[in-house]
Amino acid sequence: MELHLKIKSAINAFKKFSLSGKLGLILILLILLMAIFAPWLSPHPHQRSSGSALIPPDSEHILGTDDLGIDLWAQITNGARISLLVGFGTALLAAVGGGIMGIVAAYKGGLIDKILMRLIDIMMVMPDLPVMILLAAFFGPSLFNIILVLAIFSWIRPARIVRSQVLMLKEQSYIKSAESYGAKSWYLIRKHFLPEVSPLLAVSIIRLSSRAIVAEAGLSFLGLGDPTSRSWGLIIHHALNFQGIYYTSFWRWWLLYPWLALTILTVSLAFIGRDLERIVDPRLGN
Amino acid sequence: MFKKASSRLSLLVLICLLIMMTVACGVEEATEESVEEETVDVVRLEGGQDDGYPSPYAHHRRGPGSYKMNLIFDSMLERDEEGWVPWLAEDYEISEDGLEILFTIRDGVKWQDGEEMTAEDVKFSYEYSLEYPMVRTYVQKDDEIEVELKNDNQVLFIAPEPDAVLAHDLGRIPIIPKHIWKDVDDPENYLEEEAVVGTGPYQLDEYNLEHGTYRFEAFEDFWGPNQSVEAIEFIPVSDDIMAFEQGDIDLTRIGTDLLSRFEEQEGFEVVQNPAFWGYRLRFNMEDNPQLEVTELRQAINYALDLEDVVDRDARGAGVAGNAGIVPPDHVMYNPEVKEYDQDLDKAEELLIKLGYENTTEEGVRYNEAGEELSFDLFVRDDDVRLGEIVEEQLSDLGIGVNVISEERQSHDDRLRNYDYQLIIHGGGGWGGDPDYLRERFMSPAADERGDVEQQSLGYDNSELNQLLAEQRYEVDEERREEMIFEVQEILAEDIPQIPLYYPAEYTAYRADSYDDWMHMFDHHALEHPKLSYLERD
């Protein structure tokens, strides 16, 4: 019975999305499934060659192979894991971290608030790409470092949104009365603030993840990702490093498919993000 | 009736057109042929990168810089397709004991400012280059080579001990005018117009540091063969292939996949560059007891399929590595050395003999002491793909390789500090005098660690050491070649490092505008030799 209700509410939630939002949800679900079942989806390994180099798509290699003879479909399905991991990992880290900072700053106020706000100001004026390149080069290329570096530059937005929301909330009479009954900060955060700001954080997560996915691809493309991983950005990086690729036919699969995968993922996230924002904050749309 | 006439008419027109076209083609071909005899107005090449001011002291170190300087400055000897040829020196003689070299300087050579060039200038250039080393220095003060003017046109150099390559080293010093340089005491910052007065076939007409553009013009009173090009221009381009296709530049380097595009097109020529650059897999044999074992290194060589490496990393444009180090295009290449075609059975046999019988769950071999065959392989970020291929091939044998890529600076530091287990080292100079084998493989004296970047520390073969030391003083060419051949045989047996492959890219040029390009016997670029721009027989 409970399961039945849950499915029903999920369907209701789904119905709230616009057509493009629904499309986005379906595509994300497909990519998620692709990432989970990656090893079973492709008959070829994604780490080593399984044919000659640069074979155009055929029945054996449905998306062709790259310059080392590694199957591209295998790389794209496995690369989805990296993209999703980086995207949602960064977003979660940034949203949770930024959210906590925002709540603390708003609720505690005073000096802590001032320090945090100035820190946010500094982070906001810092040009993120050059610093990210510097940090990535300094920490050395690895997936975890990339997530960390991206998160360092992503927590500002959720922190600011959450702070302003909490500033408004803490003046509400029910919070005041809870306080007068002796509610501790942690209790208030857990019971009142988090549930109120979580929809906002959800929107942030979606926004941030699509940004992180593109940033990971960008850093990998600049050669700062884990060089032997098979992320989408890295496939594009290797393809574009190939001399005169546009004068050959190779770009038609080697460059096109990873680019397409990346585009589909970020566009879907953008659709979902837009709808979520509308659902969470009815003032924005109708 | 009318219809018939019109179809006949159109047929007639068509035939006329065809005839006219063939005639036109014929005419065009004829003019092209006659053009070939004359000089070409201008040859344009890819520029856009500052290579320094083309004086012997202010050009940048890399090839494009020094070869621009060479257009202006002559030296006593020059290199053509076959070897060294007399240039400003008409002739040179080496005494029987190998200690004295007598250069006879050509008469009637003019500096680009109209003055006469003399043997005095040669002596001055040598002495000045000792005092102030030029960007590319081949003879140093420590070598203690004396110079004296024999008479008006002869210069004698006297060395304290015989040296097989001294004549060439002296012969490549750019000759600079005494009347200009004698009062200059800060040659690196001497950037006046006079600083680029040489005796060479071309003089500097325009130079722009910011845009990286150069223009060289033929020097009318040049002593030597006629210039076949009136002017050489280096211009900035955004995409070299596109610029080449559109005719903005006359020559460019292309990969294998663009071959068909240019080979079949009328008016384009494509040549493959000789392979004088190389990637090699180096072992740290000093800090790593496992890698000190010759059989392990041999097994690694047997596990590698170097033809496949060339195919995948260079799209076939290269020559698979030779265990004897010296590339096959080299004049002293020994084709008889031990070969290591991929042979996994043989490699496995060697490893089992060494005790690496069992494998872990990940497929990495280990011996009874529990030592795993698992290594870190460092590569430069541009060469990650090459590292991945090596990793893949070695994993088939049960050797685990962890590829770590670094940007160029850290990579070079690592090479210099000997801070690695395995490393892929890419570099040039494989076409030069085989004395480089001494720099790479002769074990240094106990207290001395000269050029660690090149040396193979931890590798020590006394027979090889002796050969490498002796060949340097062997003035008899044939005897020296025998020694170098023997050296290669020992190296192929010991495998102190594994040459992976020698890239041999392709150069495409627009033969309809200029086609007199040539390669020097030891260099890979067509546009570098000054003889490429002079009339030859």
**pLDDT: which is higher, A47 or B279:** B279
Structural domains in chain A (count)? 1
Residue B354 lies in a domain: yes
Report the pLDDT value the prediction gives residue A34, as an integer from 0 to 100.
94
CA of B404, closest CA in chain A: separation in Å? 8
In the predicted structure, residue B292 carries a pLDDT above the cut 70: yes
B323 with B217, same domain?
no
For the stretch B502-516, pLDDT in tens is 999 899 999 989 999
For the stretch B211-268, pLDDT in tens is 999 999 999 999 999 999 999 999 998 878 889 988 999 999 898 888 888 888 888 9
Half-sphere exposure of B358 (CA within 13 A, CB side): 9
d(CA B179, CA B201): 20
Annotate A186-210 with b (16+ C-beta within 10 A) or e (fewer).
eebbeebbbebbeebbbbbbbbbbb
Residue B84 lies in a domain: yes
In the predicted structure, residue B420 carries a pLDDT above the cut 80: yes
CATH number for position B333: 3.10.105.10
Residue B34 lies in a domain: no
With bands split at pLDDT 50, 70 and 90, how would you rate the model's confidence at B31?
very low
Provide the sign of the torsion angle of the four alpha carbons B389, B393, B394, B400, taken in this order: positive
Give residue B215's domain range. Answer: 40-52+201-271+506-537
Residue B16 lies in a domain: no
Report the pLDDT value the prediction gives residue B449, as an integer from 0 to 100.
61
- From first to last of its 286 residues, what are the pLDDT tens digits of chain A? 578 888 888 888 888 889 999 999 999 999 999 999 999 998 999 988 999 999 999 999 999 999 999 999 999 999 999 989 999 999 999 999 999 899 989 988 889 999 999 999 999 898 888 888 888 777 777 788 888 888 988 999 899 999 999 999 888 899 889 989 988 888 888 888 888 888 888 888 998 998 888 888 888 777 677 777 888 988 998 898 887 788 889 999 999 999 999 999 999 999 999 898 888 876 654 4
**pLDDT: which is higher, B130 or B6:** B130
Long-range contacts of B165-170 (CB under 8 A, 24+ apart): B165/B433, B165/B435, B166/B101, B166/B139, B167/B77, B167/B92, B167/B94, B167/B101, B168/B77, B168/B84, B168/B433, B169/B138, B169/B139, B170/B76, B170/B101, B170/B103, B170/B126, B170/B138, B170/B139, B170/B145
Interhelix angle A194-221/A156-169, rounded to 10 degrees, is 170
Strands, E assignment, B387-521: 400-406, 422-428, 497-503, 506-510
Q: What angle do CA A75, A79, A83 make, to 5 degrees?
A: 165
Residue B66 lies in a domain: no
Residue B175 lies in a domain: yes
Strands, E assignment, B322-446: 358-359, 365-366, 374-380, 400-406, 422-428
What percentage of chain B reaches a pLDDT higher than 90? 64
Mean pLDDT of B410-424: 90
Which residues are CB-neighbours of B140 under 8 A, at least 6 positions away?
B130, B133
Report the pLDDT value the prediction gives residue B9, as an integer from 0 to 100.
52
Give residue A159's domain range. Answer: 65-284
With bands split at pLDDT 50, 70 and 90, how would you rate the model's confidence at B8?
low
B410 part of contact set with chain A, CB < 8 Å: no
Provide the sign of the torsion angle of the four alpha carbons B279, B285, B286, B290, taken in this order: positive
Helix (H, G, I), strand (E, B) or coil at A93: helix
B113 with B255, same domain?
no
Residue A254 lies in a domain: yes
Nearest to A228 among B311, B395, B403 (CB): B403
Mean pLDDT of chain B: 88
In the predicted structure, residue B65 carries a pLDDT above the cut 50: yes
B351 with B424, same domain?
yes
**pLDDT: which is higher, B136 or A223:** B136
Which chain A residue has its CA at the smallest distance from B256's CA? A243
CB contact under 8 A, A49 and B392: yes
B332 part of contact set with chain A, CB < 8 Å: no
Token pair belonging to B424: 């892929």
Which residues sit opposite B422 in a β-bridge? B283, B377
In the predicted structure, residue B448 carries a pLDDT above the cut 70: no
Structural domains in chain B (count)? 3
Token pair belonging to B211: 């845009």
Contacts with B407 from chain A: Cβ below 8 Å: 137, 223
For the stretch A99-116, pLDDT in tens is 989 998 998 888 999 999
B129 with B93, same domain?
yes
Residue A90 lies in a domain: yes
For the stretch A221-238, pLDDT in tens is 776 777 778 889 889 988
For the stretch B340-388, pLDDT in tens is 999 999 999 999 999 999 999 889 999 998 899 999 999 988 899 999 9
Contacts with A48 from chain B: Cβ below 8 Å: 392, 395
B141 with B248, same domain?
no
Which chain B residue has its CA at the smallest distance from A142's CA? B404
Report the pLDDT value the prediction gives residue B170, as an integer from 0 to 100.
93
CB contact under 8 A, A223 and B381: yes
3-state helix, strand and coil shares in percent for chain B, rounded to the nearest 5: 35, 20, 45
Mean pLDDT of B187-196: 94
In the predicted structure, residue B462 carries a pLDDT above the cut 80: yes
Report the pLDDT value the prediction gives residue A223, as an integer from 0 to 100.
64
Token pair belonging to A232: 């989408």
B262 with B291, same domain?
no
d(CA B22, CA B355): 75
**pLDDT: which is higher, B33 or A198:** A198
- Of B199, B222, B242, the residue at which a domain comes to its end is B199
Nearest to B312 among A69, A141, A223 (CB): A69
Nearest to B388 among A228, A244, A247 (CB): A228
In the predicted structure, residue B26 carries a pLDDT above the cut 50: no
